Structure formats: structure tokens, C-alpha cells
């Protein structure tokens, strides 16, 4: 039972440390292998790792496949950023859950005596 609570705490803790932030296409640095989400005009969403970009195309690696997207077809580009606020909130929430579980277990042991 304790292992289940520990596993759930870790899953909650590490599931939301990142978020996507909308950025201008011209200021995306390509020297870092960034995770991006591209929304095309046709309603297509592509998530992957940025490989390269130039004035005409943006190349994204999605699960080992390179996809070239024309700049004219791009509606929005989002770059994955680490979110300190989400991470601290999840850490505090996980600590509260663990504390409540430990308190319930401790209270159950006292009542069982």
C-alpha cells in the first residue's frame, strides 16, 4: 500500500513540470534541441524536436521521422519551457497528499490499539 502511495506521488510530481509557451518564429534558437508544438493552418498539430529552420521551412523530428513544414502554413509555434511555478505547486501538493496518507495510517494504528 505504501509503495502505491509513493508511486502515485512520483507520478503527480513529475507529470506537469513543463508547459508550452507561444513564441515568434523568428526568435526560436536552433542551437538547442528544443521540443516544439507546431499548429498549422489546416488544423494539424505536430509535436517533436526542432531540427532546423530557415526562411522557408521548419524541420521537426517526430518519433524518428523528419517533417518539413512550410513557414506559410504555420499558424502558431510553441516551445516547451520548464515551469517553476507548476513544479513547486506539484511538489507542495504531493507533500500534502503524502502527509495526509501518513496521518491516516498513523491514526489507524492508534485506533487499532
Which H or E run contains 38?
strand 35-40
pLDDT in tens, the chain (113 residues): 667 766 766 666 666 666 677 888 777 777 677 888 888 888 888 888 889 888 888 888 988 899 898 888 888 888 877 655 555 555 566 667 777 777 777 776 656 65
Correct CATH for 2-112 of 3.40.30.10, 3.40.50.2020, 2.30.30.100, 1.10.3720.10: 2.30.30.100
Q: What is the residue extent of each domain of the chain?
A: 2-112
What's residue 66's pLDDT?
92
What gap in Å lies between CA 94 and CA 13, rounded to an integer? Answer: 6
The predicted pLDDT at position 35 comes to 85
pTM recorded for the entire structure: 0.56
Taking the CB of residue 53, how many other CB atoms lie within 10 A of it?
19
The CA-atom distances, in angstroms, between 11 and each of 14, 17, 21, 94 are 6, 11, 23, 9
Amino acid at each position: 500500500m505504501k509503495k502505491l502511495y509513493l508511486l502515485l506521488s512520483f507520478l503527480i510530481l513529475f507529470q506537469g513540470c513543463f508547459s508550452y509557451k507561444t513564441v515568434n518564429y523568428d526568435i526560436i534558437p536552433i542551437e538547442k534541441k528544443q521540443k516544439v508544438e507546431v499548429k498549422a493552418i489546416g488544423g494539424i498539430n505536430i509535436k517533436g524536436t526542432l531540427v532546423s529552420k530557415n526562411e522557408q521551412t521548419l524541420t521537426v523530428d517526430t518519433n524518428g521521422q523528419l517533417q518539413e513544414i512550410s513557414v506559410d502554413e504555420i499558424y502558431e509555434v510553441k516551445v516547451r519551457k520548464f515551469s517553476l511555478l507548476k513544479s513547486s505547486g506539484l511538489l507542495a501538493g504531493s507533500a500534502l497528499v503524502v502527509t495526509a496518507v501518513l496521518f491516516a495510517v498513523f491514526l489507524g494504528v492508534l485506533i487499532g490499539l
